[in-house]
Amino acid sequence: MEQSEGRKLILFPLPFQGHINPMLELANILHSKGFSIAIIHTNFNSLNPSTRNPYFTYHSIPVDLTETEVSLKDFTVLLSILNAKCVEPFRECLAGLLSDKDPIACLISDPLFDFTGSVAESFKLPRIMLSTGGAASFAVYAAFPLLKEKGYLPIQDSRLEEPVMELSPIKFKDLPMMPNCDPEDFYQLITNVANEPKASHGFICNTFEDLEGHALATIHQEYYPNIPIFSLGPFHKCGPTTSSSSTSLLAQDQRCISWLNTQAPKSVAYVSFGSVAKIDQAKFLEIAWGLANSGQPFLWGIRPGLVEELDWLKVLPNGFLEALNERAHIVKWSPQKEVLAHPTVGVFWTHCGWNSILESICEGVPMICTPCFSEQMVNARYVSDVWKVGLQLEHGIGRGEVERTIRRLMVEKEGEEIKKGALKLMEKANLCLKEGGSSYQSLDGLVKHILSL
């Protein structure tokens, strides 16, 4: 019997897709190590009951957001409303779980849920943070007070193309920002997030040494020397294999896999900007023409709400899709991991959410990067300039550049090196999970650490 048998862990994901996926993947990993798992989740973006893990217990807390709140453009305001609404229901739920007979080893929560520290502390319950983004972007978050002190923030338009010397290879234009937010509020949010690990019993990152060893060392040495850090990613390849539909808030449309089956190997450009990013109608049209003119088949994820203020079909000229015939396939929400693992997918045009990047790396699929907000610009810089497994659309979305970039990567000689690089990185991602690999060892370390709390 494993020592962890019977020890319970409570995991509390932030209710957004890019945060839910890694938290539930981590739950699967830790369950496979013998822990029993309780998931606390909000009514808002509630987890689908039909796809839940039968071995976990789920505890819904009555936290809902009104339609007006959900459609708030300012993410810092939305988050502060969510946090304020969560505190008491979370405290009550935790009190109930702690009164159970099973001993609870710790709480694992998201640094954006800033109230979990004080609530856990009031019950003397150890808390471990899970960063659902990359280590490099967290290092940039942690450097925010320094950037402020140096007068770099708010970012000045005249410096956008300059490198930030302290954060090579990051440029000023890559620094995290959020559209529609007061820069001062955003600065405060990031500073709070970066302070969260300091008051925790450990810090888990969904990344791996060969990918972000340097950033992991920086985080540890410069910012959190007393906090144990565990990098056991990529999570979705680390635990027992589960269907990605089990964590999805929207139903995944499997029909696109049948369409992919009809395409030639490595010929398809898969396009998705994740669960939150929005684009305006003009950009949507440029993407559509760029894809059409590239000559490559494409699978395009257009989730409800991706295009601002209008039904996307009305943005396209009459007959646009019909003229492309079988070369284009549109899906609202794809089974993305399966799509990226499909042999006919040759390129992923992504908004550079961290999960999307890891999923692409794990399948050796090179990327085209259009970062939209927050840490996505940092991620994109690493994809193009550090790991060299993709190209950025540096000058915005214009149909000519889209067409050229797809062809550079998929058809022309220039793409060969990038494709080779992507395959090499995929091998490294596989190796770190094997016995003796860095993520394998880090997981062992995490299990021991939890048992020692």
Rounded (10°) angle between helices 281-294 and 399-410 = 40
Cα–Cα distance measured from residue 263 to residue 256, given in angstroms and rounded to the nearest whole number: 11
3-state secondary structure 50-92: HHCCCCCEEEEECCCCCHHHHCCCCHHHHHHHHHHHHHHHHHH
For residue 246, the minimal CB distance to ligand UDP (Å) is 11
Cα–Cα distance measured from residue 285 to residue 299, given in angstroms and rounded to the nearest whole number: 16
CA of residue 342 relative to chain centroid, distance: 21
CB 354 within 8 A of CB 206: yes
DSSP 298-360: EEEE--TTSBTTS-HHHHSPTTHHHHHGGGEEEESS--HHHHHTSTTEEEEEE---HHHHHHH
Report in angstroms the alpha-carbon separations of 331 from 89, 250, 270, 272, 446: 37, 12, 11, 10, 38
- Tell me whether residue 21 or residue 231 sits nearer to ligand UDP (CB atom): 21
For residue 89, the minimal CB distance to ligand UDP (Å) is 24
For residue 17, the minimal CB distance to ligand UDP (Å) is 5
- For tokens 């089990």, name the residue: 246
Give the number of residues written for the chain: 453
Binding site for ligand UDP (CB under 6 A): 17-18, 21, 244, 248, 252, 272, 274-277, 301, 333-334, 336-337, 353-356, 359
- Tell me whether residue 17 or residue 200 sits nearer to ligand UDP (CB atom): 17
- Tell me whether residue 270 or residue 289 sits nearer to ligand UDP (CB atom): 270
CB 137 within 8 A of CB 131: no
- Tell me whether residue 99 or residue 258 sits nearer to ligand UDP (CB atom): 258
For residue 38, the minimal CB distance to ligand UDP (Å) is 23
For residue 274, the minimal CB distance to ligand UDP (Å) is 3
Is the dihedral angle over the CA atoms 295, 291, 297, 427 positive or is it negative?
positive
CA of residue 141 relative to chain centroid, distance: 15
- Tell me whether residue 36 or residue 137 sits nearer to ligand UDP (CB atom): 137
For residue 174, the minimal CB distance to ligand UDP (Å) is 17
For residue 336, the minimal CB distance to ligand UDP (Å) is 3
Residue 177 host element (H or E): none
For residue 333, the minimal CB distance to ligand UDP (Å) is 4
Cα–Cα distance measured from residue 206 to residue 355, given in angstroms and rounded to the nearest whole number: 9
For residue 339, the minimal CB distance to ligand UDP (Å) is 8
- Tell me whether residue 22 or residue 202 sits nearer to ligand UDP (CB atom): 22
Q: Which residues pair with 38 in a beta bridge?
A: 10, 57
- Tell me whether residue 23 or residue 450 sits nearer to ligand UDP (CB atom): 23
- Tell me whether residue 356 or residue 370 sits nearer to ligand UDP (CB atom): 356
CA of residue 91 relative to chain centroid, distance: 27
- Tell me whether residue 31 or residue 236 sits nearer to ligand UDP (CB atom): 236
